[in-house]
Amino acid sequence: MKIGFIGLGIMGGPMCANLLQAGYEVTVSSHNAEAAEKLHAQGAHIADTPKEIAAQVDLVITMLPNSPQVLEVALGPDGIVAGAHRGLTYVDMSSIAPQASRQVHDALAKVGVPMLDAPVSGGEPKAVDGTLSIMVGGDRGIYDTVHDVLAVLGSAVVHVGQIGSGNTAKLANQVVVALNIAAVSEALMLARMAQVDPQSVFEAIRGGLAGSTVLEAKAPMILDRNFTPGFRIDLHVKDLANALDTAHDVDAPLPLTQAVLGMLQTLQSDGHGGDDHSGLVQYYEQLSRTRVERTSR
């Protein structure tokens, strides 16, 4: 199977590298020249437009920032739709609004190109080691044909329903993650303000009911004040905004999500949008004028 990969950022670059390592023939976009050349050195071909990529492959995968970019790459004048041919399949692994996924799906269906939405969770570390969680929406038969490709990228690949369902699952994931990071930040700030070592509190609660993947991944970053992005605040703002838009469409109440989005937007406006989302603790630090950090014992 020949694969085209568009979107070579923090997540897409290592995902594409894993496909090359697995032996797939991959053509990448020249849009990110530095990343494209790095992958070219690993065996990838390079093409200039989504149209050119689509015309020469069996499967196009995109990993893009948000809905407008997906719409342009898929449906623009030099988009995937312009390179459509018999046997082409499209899998969008971006985290976008479910309605946008349905819009692209319906447009591509008119030229005979089936589509799945398959957003991921796990951040850069799991993109690198190929253990992402992948949530897939779309036709089950099409899912079966690309499952082995997706299994190179993730350790958990789950079909969750019709087109758009993958992104609905991803929005649910992002709600849980954001609220967990806020809870971890509040808990560690409580410990700090009560003059109890936050590191000791982390060690005490991690094995109990409060233990979680988020706690394990983000508490050490908070304690070390390491906000180097694995997943940026800017992107989490985008995801929670999409979650609230979707919630509005289906009349789902998301008051906690609204509150945490406001916290992240405050940090974004203060210049922290490029920080890892564990940097949410800085919102609490601004309120308390106290830093949460690891202390020596």
Instruction: Tell me if residue 218 is catalytic.
Output: no
Is residue 175 located within the same domain as residue 102?
no
For residue 296, name the pLDDT band (cuts at 50, 70, 90).
low
Cβ–Cβ < 8 Å for 137, 165: yes
Is residue 295 one of the residues assigned to a domain? no
Q: Are 46 and 129 within one domain?
A: yes
Counted domains in the chain? 2
| CA–CA distance, 79 with 27 (Å, rounded to integer) | 15
Classify residue 55: in a domain, yes or no.
yes
Which DSSP string do the residues of 101-168 spell out, in sequence order?
HHHHHHHHHTTT--EEE--EESHHHHHHHT-EEEEEES-HHHHHHHHHHHHHHEEEEEEEESTTHHHH
pLDDT computed for residue 189 by the predictor: 98
Say if 110 falls within a structural domain: yes
- Do 25 and 73 share a domain, yes or no? yes
* AA identity, residue 48: D
120, 178: one domain: no
CA nearest to 70, candidates 62, 58, 78, 81: 62
Distance CA 233, CA 58 (A): 35
On whether residue 294 sits in a domain, the answer given is no
Q: In this prediction, what percent of the chain has a pLDDT beyond 70? A: 99
Whether 135 is in a domain gets the answer yes
Neighbour-count burial for 69-88, b at 16+ CB within 10 Å, e otherwise: bbbebbbeeebbbbbbeeeb
- Helix (H, G, I), strand (E, B), or coil: what is residue 60? strand
Are residues 60 and 108 located together in one domain of the fold?
A: yes
**Residue with structure tokens 């906000």?**
227
Residue 297 pLDDT more than 60?
Answer: no
Tell me what the pLDDT averaged over the chain comes to: 96
Range of the domain at 130: 2-162
Question: 235 and 149 in one domain?
Answer: no
The residue written with tokens 């916290």 in the block is 263
Q: Classify the C-alpha dihedral 135-1-23-61 as positive or negative.
A: negative
Q: Which two tokens stand for residue 85?
A: 């041919």
- Would you say residue 165 has pLDDT above 70? yes
Q: Which of 162, 187, 211 is the last residue of a domain?
A: 162
Specify whether 33 is located in the same domain as 110: yes
Q: Are residues 92 and 158 in the same domain?
A: yes
Please tell me the distance from the alpha carbon of residue 13 to that of residue 119, in angstroms, as a whole number. Answer: 15
Residue 297 lies inside a defined structural domain of this protein: no
The Cα–Cα gap between 235 and 239 comes to: 6
Q: What is the pLDDT of residues 228-278, one digit of tens each?
A: 988 899 999 999 999 999 999 999 999 999 999 999 999 999 999 999 999
User: What CATH number corresponds to the domain at position 117?
Assistant: 3.40.50.720
C-alpha distances in angstroms, 184 versus 26, 190, 202, 241?
40, 10, 9, 21
Is residue 206 one of the residues assigned to a domain? Answer: yes
Decide if 132 contacts 126 (C-beta within 8 A): yes
| Euclidean distance between CA atoms 94 and 78, whole angstroms | 19
Q: Give the pLDDT confidence of 22-54 residue by residue, as tens digits.
A: 999 999 999 999 999 999 999 999 999 999 999
Q: Which of 162, 184, 201 is the last residue of a domain?
A: 162
CATH number, residue 253? 1.10.1040.10
Catalytic entry in 51, 126, 170, 238 = 170
pLDDT at 86: 96
Q: Is the pLDDT of residue 295 over 80?
A: no
Task: Examine residue 131 and state whether it is found in any structural domain, yes or no.
Answer: yes
3-state secondary structure of 44: coil
Token readout for 9 is 């950022």
176-to-7, 56, 90, 109, 257 alpha-carbon distances in Å: 26, 39, 28, 33, 9
Does residue 157 sit in the same domain as residue 176? no
Same domain membership, residue 150 and residue 177: no
Q: Answer yes or no: are the C-beta atoms of 224 and 273 closer than 8 Å.
A: no
Q: What is the rounded distance in angstroms from the CA atom of residue 245 to the CA atom of residue 223?
A: 33
pLDDT at residue 289 greater than cutoff 60: yes
Cα diameter, the chain: 66
Same domain, 118 and 201: no
Q: Which of 162, 192, 213 is the last residue of a domain?
A: 162
What distance in Å separates the CA atoms of residue 163 and residue 118, rounded to the nearest whole number?
9
137 shares a domain with 197: no
